[in-house]
């Protein structure tokens, strides 16, 4: 694999911009998602399960205490999709976590599609 890939993406939902920065290396993926501007938020890590084992990826919160559920769920989803160590940061300031979760998932999917299209 060549050097790390970087993808930037944006969506507008309910009149608010949401931004993503995706960095992929040989063994890991890092996704920073935030509302209104690029910022570091609650940071979750997930490790994919080996292919022979059944169950969700293992995850934990490394930093922060807001948006912990959405950060962990998205980190687990990213680890499962990429089969790599995944770090996901979520910074939301005006939306509730349950409102932001589907928006951020949509943003993550859009970002990953763009990364695949650029290959």
In percent, the amount of the chain with pLDDT more than 90 equals 80
Residue in the block written with tokens 């998932």: 105
Q: Which of 1-15, 21-35, 37-51, 55-69 has the highest mean pLDDT?
A: 21-35
Residues shown for the chain? 119
Lowest mean pLDDT among 7-21, 38-52, 53-67: 53-67
CATH of the domain at 79: 3.30.230.90
In the prediction, which pLDDT does 112 show? 93
pLDDT of residue 101: 95
Domain that holds residue 36: 5-117
Residue 53 φ/ψ region, left for φ over 0, alpha for ψ in the -120 to 50 degree band, beta for the rest: beta
pLDDT band of 52, cuts 50, 70, 90 = confident
Strands 16-24 and 28-35: antiparallel
- Number of structural domains the chain divides into: 1
d(C-alpha 74, C-alpha 72), whole Å: 5
**Per-residue pLDDT, 1:** 54
pTM exceeding 0.75: yes
Q: Once rounded to an integer, what is the mean pLDDT over residues 27-55? A: 90
Q: Above 70 in pLDDT, residue 119?
A: no
Q: Which residue has the tokens 């995706």?
A: 22
Q: What is the mean pLDDT of residues 90-99?
A: 94
> Given pLDDT bands bounded at 50, 70 and 90, which one contains residue 21?
very high
């Amino acid at each position: 694999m060549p050097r790390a890939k970087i993808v930037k993406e944006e969506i507008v939902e309910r009149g608010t911009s949401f931004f993503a920065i995706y960095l992929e290396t040989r063994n890991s993926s890092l996704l920073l998602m935030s509302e209104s501007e690029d910022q570091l938020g609650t940071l979750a890590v997930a490790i994919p399960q080996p292919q022979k084992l059944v169950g969700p990826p293992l995850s934990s919160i490394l930093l922060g205490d807001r948006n912990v559920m959405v950060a962990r769920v998205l980190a687990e989803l990213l680890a499962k999709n990429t089969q790599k160590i995944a770090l996901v940061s979520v910074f939301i300031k005006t939306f509730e976590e349950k409102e932001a979760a589907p928006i951020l998932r949509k943003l993550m999917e859009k970002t990953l599609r763009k990364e695949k299209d650029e290959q």
